[in-house]
Amino acid sequence: MEMENPANASFAFLEERTMHESLSVVMLGLGYIGLPTAALIASKGISVHGVDVNADVVRTINEGKVHIVEPDLEGLVTYTVAKGFLKANTQPVPADVFLIAVPTPFREEHQPDLSYVESATNMIIPHLREGNLVILESTSPVGTTERIAGLIFAARPELRDRIYIAYCPERVLPGKILFELERNDRAIGGLDARSGEKARAFYALFVKGQLHVTTARTAEMCKLTENAFRDVNIAFANEISLICERLGIDVWELIRLANLHPRVNILQPGPGVGGHCIAVDPWFIVSSAPDRAHLIKCAREVNDSKPHHIVEQVLRAASGLTSPVIACFGLAFKANIDDLRESPAITIVKELVASRAGRVLAVEPNIDVLPDELAVGGALQLVDIKTALREADILVLLVDHREFTNVDPLSLKGKIIIDSRGSWTSTRPIS
């Protein structure tokens, strides 16, 4: 459904309006996606009313501060709040455009939990009026946009055919969110053709990437497919790493060599797949077609097995030592961020502590205190790099933060090294 004349379409939405200032937006959810998106829209001079159920988050934002670590975000929030374009509250208000960017986790058996999306929808229903545009951005199983429409029209039947509803997934990479929000292409799924075009005109106000209009179901599946694609490719690298370990081959050298082939591009093996996206979204595909999603399910299982494999390597190494000290380098789910959500490193550290195989130290330069789930009982100590290198017998590299990859190789001498990222050894892991 590519539009013939995007330039005209961009401004059709504004109809008689010529000033952004007259447009009002409500953003539901002020987390890793909602807050940067709200701030970016506000930076274009559009009035944004952000909504979050957490009163502390609302207070922090209204003070011009942020509750998450993301490059350049604090500056943008400070600026847009000071200018009066961005405000936060725990309740929505009437507006022209409603954006929903709330979490979509899964429950038992990997079934999607849409309760946050549904409660955000219920919050806006009383405020909706004719001509409004409602856009879901949360990663969601196929059919969720139709479900939202069902909720809205059940409560407000008079709005049928009088509002616009679309799905437009975010695709930004943590650490580069503001850049990618503006620059990435977007897939925009209208519940009907008019909704798709309205949504495209809205995104044209602040996105510089190409805007591609399609159906809501295709856009929902597109987001899930992107993350499942990455998960399957990481699983391939992880499976190769397990095979190489058995065969006594340096997997990182192998991948470097294989990638010299013009049509091969293998990703990097690691201690598992973390974060709240790639480790979650493929399950939404599996749950929608379990009898057909064999490869996608298997990839999830391969990646989820990797942390336990690393723990086994450490325990084998520790079993040969008396009172060993084990230092785990990195807790975040990937390099150079402070985000610990769904981190395989956390799983590994917890299992090592529970195993009582030795004293466990953790090094994480991006945090100052251990999260509660790790601090319990004081069995784990957060230490700096120097202390860990001095005191530990076994060094386990879990995250390739720049502080770790820059470590002087001489300081690793004489230690047992278990390098899940290939940054320190790129030789044989312990077997």
Instruction: Name the residues annotated as catalytic.
Output: 223, 277
CB nearer ligand SAJ, residue 13 or residue 32: 32
The nearest distance, CB 316 to ligand SAJ, in angstroms, is: 22
CB of 302 to ligand SAJ, least distance (A): 11
* Least spacing, CB of residue 63 vs ligand SAJ, in Å: 27
Rama region for 328: left / alpha / beta (φ>0; ψ in -120 to 50; rest): beta
CB 310 within 8 A of CB 271: yes
| CA distances to 185, 204, 302 from 20, in Å | 22, 12, 48
Report CA dihedral (126, 131, 137, 141) to the nearest 10 degrees.
80
Nearest approach, Cβ of residue 47 and ligand SAJ (Å): 26
Which residues of this chain interact with ligand SAJ, rule CB under 6 A? 139, 170-174, 226-227, 230, 234, 267-268, 270, 273-275, 277-278, 333-334
Q: How far is the CB of 332 from ligand SAJ (least distance, A)?
A: 9
**Vertex 351: Cα angle to 429 and 105 (nearest 5):** 105
Rank residues 78 and 268 by Cβ distance to ligand SAJ and give the closer one.
268
Q: Which residue's CB comes closest to ligand SAJ?
A: 277
Q: Which helix (H) or strand (E) holds 100?
A: strand 97-100
d(CA 116, CA 101): 9
Cα separation, 379 vs 347, in Å, equals 15
Cβ atoms of residues 23 and 210 within 8 Å: no
Nearer to ligand SAJ, 164 or 283 (CB): 283
Give the residues across from 191 on adjacent strands. Answer: none
Given a contact cutoff of 8 angstroms between Cβ atoms, the answer to whether 358 and 327 are in contact is no
